[in-house]
Amino acid sequence: QDLAKKNTANRQVVEQRRRLLEEWVAWREQMKEMLDEEGIEVEVEEDAGQGKDADAEVEEIE
Amino acid sequence: MRPILLQGHERALTQVKYNADGDLIFSVSKDHVVCAWYSHNGERLGTYHGHQGALWTVDVHPSSALLATGGADNTMRLWEVKTGRLLHTWEFATSIKRVEFSPDGRQLLGVTEKRSGHLSTIVVYEIDPDVDAEQTDEQSLRIVCDESKATVAGFSYGAKYIIAGHEDGTVSQYDAKTGELLLNITVHEPDMQITDLQWSADRTYFITASKDKTAKLVTTNDLEILKSYTTDTPLNSAAITPVKDYVILGGGQAAMDVTTTSARQGKFEARFYHKIFMEEIGRVRGHFGPLNYVAIHPKGTGYCSGGEDGYVRVHHFDKPYFDFMYEVEREQANL
């Protein structure tokens, strides 16, 4: 029974996170459209992937 | 993630900044000196001498050719990065607490301190990005903060708004052309000073740090609080990381505010929170005084912190930092 409770609690946490992430992604899309409409170009590193940058590679070797 | 220690300052650090490429770090301190460093190895590139008092603030021009500083000698100064040449000095009645260039580098704002007979102001100058140009003394805008003094301020995306944080815990949105106050929202606990305001990469939102022990993620357009990060120590600084969805918070109890000071009690750690889920995911120790400022590498590959202990610590993130993902993030990435 405890295990069932724990599973429900975990599921709720995951559901909550999924919701927060979806909200965030949707809001970011809105903001990108807003910037487009304002005619503003931004060099955005954000959402650029996994940081496979020269610096990061050097760190891995160490 | 072995940090590089930048040794050279003799007193507390007040602000540290990366340039747009992230290859340089600029630091200012109460010791009156501005230092420039190579971020990859911590080698000192040079120093900028001339200020006659403690320095509170520094910002690098988007082109990396110009540097702006401000401090307790009531001056805001413009420097040539490469040579250390002082290009211009603007004089005020009170000290300069914050300087920041607009995203296009055409404007420079300064926040002036409040003192008997002088209200706090936000002043704006048009900047000629040519290092040999004559800079103007004429203010293109002057905002008087008569409700509560401004402690921090900066330009939004497209320099459409000026956003300021105040001593009373509120955030203001001003029209950056007219100076008209458009919004004023209580973001932090009333009368708990806002200590820092840093932008997201596209400047559509920003993060504020406060003495109320929290940091808040706020939208530029509506000053709506999106996220709140709660800690157990007064915060001096907060930064938003590009690439990964984290925020980095820095602070700590000042020595004068605690009866016994040890690194453990002072909580002198950089704290990493997940930006979207608002959960703490890690801490980095090292400073033996409060963290006065944290700055993130513009490409998100590392960060540096300036401490009350007089040190700048530069960290290059290693693989686990980039690999770490919540299950739901993994799902999202695989969509």
> CATH number of the domain that B237 lies in?
2.130.10.10
Residue B113: the pLDDT is: 97
Q: Would an 8 Å CB–CB cutoff place A20 in contact with chain B?
A: yes
Confidence of residue A49 (pLDDT cuts 50, 70, 90): very low
Asked if residue B63 has pLDDT above 50, the reply is yes
Task: Compute the distance between CA of residue B67 and CA of residue B51 in angstroms, rounded to an integer.
Answer: 13
- Cross-chain residue pair A56–B221, CB shorter than 8 Å: no
Residue A25: the pLDDT is: 96
Task: Compute the distance between CA of residue B326 and CA of residue A24 in angstroms, rounded to an integer.
Answer: 15
Q: Which of B243, B247, B323, B332 should be substituted to probe chain A, the one whose Cβ sees the most A Cβ atoms within 10 Å? A: B243
Q: Which of B205, B281, B301 should be substituted to probe chain A, the one whose Cβ sees the most A Cβ atoms within 10 Å? A: B301
Least confident of B90-104, B223-237, B241-255: B241-255
Residue B84: the pLDDT is: 95
Cβ–Cβ under 8 Å, residues B140 and B162: no
Locate the chain A residue with the closest alpha carbon to B219: A31
- Cross-chain residue pair A51–B317, CB shorter than 8 Å: yes
Residue A48: the pLDDT is: 44
Least confident of A8-22, A46-60, B163-177, B281-295: A46-60
Asked if residue A60 has pLDDT above 60, the reply is no
Higher pLDDT, B260 or B42: B42
Asked if residue B280 has pLDDT above 60, the reply is yes
B242, B276, B302 member nearest A21 (Cβ) = B276
| Residue-range definition of the domain harbouring residue B30 | 4-334
Locate the chain B residue with the closest alpha carbon to A16: B277
Give the start-end residues of each E strand in B147-243.
150-155, 161-166, 170-175, 181-186, 194-199, 205-210, 214-219, 225-230, 235-240
Q: Which of B1, B204, B335 should be substituted to probe chain A, the one whose Cβ sees the most A Cβ atoms within 10 Å? A: B204
Q: Would an 8 Å CB–CB cutoff place A45 in contact with chain B?
A: yes
A56 contacts in B (CB within 8 Å)? 301, 316-319, 322
Task: Compute the distance between CA of residue B216 and CA of residue B208 in angstroms, rounded to an integer.
Answer: 5
**In this prediction, what percent of chain B has a pLDDT beyond 70?**
96
Average pLDDT of chain B is: 95
Residue A61: the pLDDT is: 34
- Cross-chain residue pair A53–B200, CB shorter than 8 Å: no
Cβ–Cβ under 8 Å, residues B243 and A48: yes
Asked if residue B330 has pLDDT above 50, the reply is yes
Residue A5: the pLDDT is: 82
Task: Compute the distance between CA of residue B151 and CA of residue B211 in angstroms, rounded to an integer.
Answer: 12
A27 contacts in B (CB within 8 Å)? 226
Asked if residue B193 has pLDDT above 80, the reply is yes
Question: Buried b vs exposed e over B109-128: b needs ≥16 C-beta within 10 Å?
Answer: bbbbbbeeeeebbbbbbebb
To the nearest whole Å, the CA of A56 is away from the closest chain B CA by 6
Q: Would an 8 Å CB–CB cutoff place A4 in contact with chain B?
A: no
Cβ–Cβ under 8 Å, residues B95 and B74: yes
The owner of tokens 């815990």 is: B169
Q: Would an 8 Å CB–CB cutoff place A2 in contact with chain B?
A: no
Q: Would an 8 Å CB–CB cutoff place A57 in contact with chain B?
A: no
To the nearest whole Å, the CA of B204 is away from the closest chain A CA by 7
- Cross-chain residue pair B242–A45, CB shorter than 8 Å: yes
Residue A42: the pLDDT is: 76
Task: Compute the distance between CA of residue B70 and CA of residue B57 in angstroms, rounded to an integer.
Answer: 5
Output DSSP code: residue B2.
P
Locate the chain B residue with the closest alpha carbon to A53: B301
Residue A6: the pLDDT is: 81
Look at residue B295 and give its three-state secondary structure: strand
Higher pLDDT, B162 or A51: B162
Count how many domains chain B has.
1
- Cross-chain residue pair B204–A31, CB shorter than 8 Å: yes
Average pLDDT over residues B29-51: 96
A21, A27, A56 member nearest B301 (Cβ) = A56
- Cross-chain residue pair B317–A31, CB shorter than 8 Å: no
